[in-house]
């Protein structure tokens, strides 16, 4: 029996999963690591702590599954995407802590680039916007503020990578410096059409080309393990994708028009739009979904800032529930929302509005409104937020959504999933295994190492936990969405 080892290196922890050819999970282990907040709005990670934690988690997963390292056919990596690491190519030591995707220290620099009129060229080339979220301005900050980084760059010894690059470098004993197209597409430095580092973008951000990793596909052998200790030498590192693209692949959204939603604290929605990039006119991002061989798939992406966080707010601040899992039971104490709408803009509005000044609002309260109505309106507000993004995706892509595949903690809420189906007018599919990010990295590594022959073989092995079909009439759906749009308009007024 051969296995795939999948490393899911996330923002707060690292998960390692071992999967066999029949898509059975043999073990799964997660370990958290420290977050650093040196100044307000700054978020950092220690790359060496991440590496040590990754080795520890691999060791625990192997022991838990009783799988020998020699039985691993390939290693897959998925990662927090835009987080930026720079290190010395010779010693392997980072020159500074990693600057995390959430970090906002480069906001003023981004604004200065917008004032110079550079947003149109950046969006045209990358499908992204000028925001501290992405890697390029983080690289520029380290080069500008860390003297060692500047000195190493002049000597040709400096390496940049998102966390995938850093892990491959460490797994291969410092012999391989690569990234994949999905992570490269999140840097503000790669041309979406050419799938290569773009000289004009490098000039805009003043970044030397020789610090960048080689861009590769998502499923191929990048190198083999060397000197890791917990793994024998010679295991192929054979699959990579950023976390949201990995989840799209893990949900087997292989056809244009297929979409997934990951419900976490916030939510991430991606739709496969096929082999040609489409720039959004509706406030979405265009990104690379994956590259297999010579075939590239692109995706539209939308982020909602508050999803599961609204349930946490009801628990921690309003205290109308004591555990997040109680929200569904409370919402079921009423048959409808009683005219109450909850716009969960507790951290502003993300896609497709991008309104940082918006604030949450509960409308339609009467003397008859109770805790159940507020709970139900909160869940419906999560679903309506996804409706806004998916409506924009359908407009931009020209694809009508037939099914939405879901994962993340909140997808266990059957009431939420049924309402999501009702308001979208499409089928919702919840898989048996909801760790789809780690699954996607495993699938890519299995394809890259030859454990699976093609995507059809993977699709056949996936099992569905539950499907939700729409039960709401068209007239009721229109009435509900009209009320929602009026509530959003009030929030943004």
Mean pLDDT of 261-268: 88
The SS3 call for residue 470 is: coil
Band the pLDDT of 389: cuts 50, 70, 90. Answer: very high
Q: Give residue for tokens 């003023």.
A: 108
pLDDT score for 457 = 87
Question: What is the predicted pLDDT for the residue at 131?
Answer: 86
Would you say the CATH fold of 252-431+463-493 matches that of 3-234? yes
pLDDT at 104: 85
The band of 213, judged by pLDDT with boundaries at 50, 70 and 90, is very high
Provide the pLDDT for residue 52.
Answer: 96
Query: Which residues, other chains included, contact 78 with Cβ-Cβ below 8 Å and sequence gap of 6+?
Result: 6, 7, 8, 9, 164, 240, 241, 242, 243, 246, 437, 438, 440, 441
Residues 430 and 432: their CA atoms lie apart, in Å, by 7
Mean pLDDT of the chain: 93
CB 280 within 8 A of CB 126: no
3-state percent breakdown (helix, strand, coil) of the chain, nearest 5 = 40, 25, 35
- What's the token pair of residue 399? 């694809």
Architecture in CATH for domain 252-431+463-493 = 2-Layer Sandwich (3.30)
Q: How far is CA 134 from the centre of its chain?
A: 13
The domain locations on the chain are 3-234, 252-431+463-493
What are the phi and psi torsion angles at 14 (to 5°)?
-120, 130
What b/e readout covers 282-301, taking b as 16+ CB neighbours within 10 angstroms?
Answer: bbbbbbbbbbbeeebbbbbb
Percent of the chain with pLDDT over 70: 100
Which residue pairs, CB below 8 angstroms and at least 24 apart, start in 472-479?
472/422, 472/423, 472/425, 474/425, 477/422, 477/423, 477/425
Which has more confidence, 51 or 265?
51
**How large is the average pLDDT for residues 308-332?**
92
Q: How confident is the model at residue 493 (pLDDT cuts 50, 70, 90)?
A: confident
| pLDDT of 304 | 87
Q: What is the pLDDT of residues 126-138, one digit of tens each?
A: 998 888 889 999 9
Looking at CATH, the fold of the domain delimited by 3-234 is given as: Nucleotidyltransferase; domain 5 (3.30.420)
Pick the range with the lowest mean pLDDT from 34-38, 200-204, 416-420.
34-38
- Give me the pLDDT at residue 136, please: 96
State residue 320's pLDDT score.
93
Average pLDDT over residues 369-397: 95
Q: Please give the sequence-ordered ranges of beta strands (E in DSSP) within 236-308, or none if there are none.
A: 236-242, 259-263, 267-274, 285-292, 295-304
CA–CA separation, 426 vs 202, rounded Å? 43
Judge contact between 5 and 72, C-beta under 8 A: yes
Does 393 or 306 have the greater pLDDT score?
Answer: 393
């Amino acid at each position: 029996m051969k296995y795939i080892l999948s490393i899911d290196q996330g923002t707060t922890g690292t998960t390692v999963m071992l999967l066999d050819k029949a898509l059975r999970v043999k073990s799964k282990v997660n370990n958290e690591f420290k977050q650093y907040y040196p100044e307000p709005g700054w978020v950092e990670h220690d790359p060496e702590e991440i590496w040590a934690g990754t080795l520890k988690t691999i060791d625990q997963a192997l022991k838990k599954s009783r799988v020998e390292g020699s039985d691993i056919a390939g290693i897959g990596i998925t990662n927090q995407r835009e987080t930026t690491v720079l290190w010395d190519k010779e010693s392997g030591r980072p020159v500074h802590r990693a600057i995390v995707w959430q970090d906002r220290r480069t906001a003023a620099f981004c604004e200065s680039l917008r004032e110079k009129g550079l947003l149109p060229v950046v969006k045209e080339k990358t499908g992204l916007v000028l925001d501290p979220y992405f890697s390029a301005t983080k690289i520029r900050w380290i080069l500008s503020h860390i003297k060692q980084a500047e000195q190493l760059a002049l000597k040709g010894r400096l390496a940049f990578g998102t966390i995938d690059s850093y892990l491959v470098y460490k797994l291969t004993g410092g012999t391989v410096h690569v990234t994949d197209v999905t992570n490269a597409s999140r840097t503000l430095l790669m041309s979406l059409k050419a799938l290569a580092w773009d000289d004009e973008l490098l000039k805009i951000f003043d970044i030397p080309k020789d610090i960048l990793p080689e861009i590769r596909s998502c499923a191929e052998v990048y190198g083999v393990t060397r000197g890791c200790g917990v793994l024998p030498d010679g295991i192929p590192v054979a699959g990579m994708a950023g976390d949201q693209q990995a989840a799209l692949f893990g949900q087997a959204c292989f056809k244009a028009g297929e979409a997934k939603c990951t419900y976490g604290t916030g939510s991430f929605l991606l739709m496969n739009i096929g082999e040609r990039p489409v720039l959004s006119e509706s406030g979405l991002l265009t990104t690379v979904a994956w590259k297999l061989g010579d075939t590239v798939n692109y995706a539209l992406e939308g982020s909602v800032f508050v999803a599961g966080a609204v349930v946490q707010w009801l628990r921690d601040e309003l205290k109308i529930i004591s555990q997040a899992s109680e929200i569904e039971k409370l919402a079921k104490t009423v048959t409808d929302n009683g005219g109450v709408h909850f716009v969960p803009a507790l951290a502003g509005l993300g896609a497709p509005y991008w309104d940082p000044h918006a604030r949450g609002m509960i409308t339609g309260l009467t003397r008859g409104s109770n805790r159940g109505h507020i709970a139900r309106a909160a869940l419906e507000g999560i679903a309506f937020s996804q409706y806004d993004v998916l409506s924009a995706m359908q407009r931009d892509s020209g694809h009508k959504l037939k099914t939405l595949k879901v994962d993340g903690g909140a997808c266990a809420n059957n009431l939420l999933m049924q309402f999501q189906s009702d308001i979208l007018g499409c089928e919702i599919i919840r898989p048996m295994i909801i760790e789809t990010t780690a699954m996607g990295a495993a699938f890519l590594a299995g394809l890259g190492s030859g454990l699976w022959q093609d995507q059809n073989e993977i699709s056949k092995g996936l099992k569905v936990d539950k499907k939700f079909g729409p039960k709401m009439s068209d007239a009721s759906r229109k009435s509900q969405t009209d009320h929602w749009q009026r509530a959003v308009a009030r929030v943004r007024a």
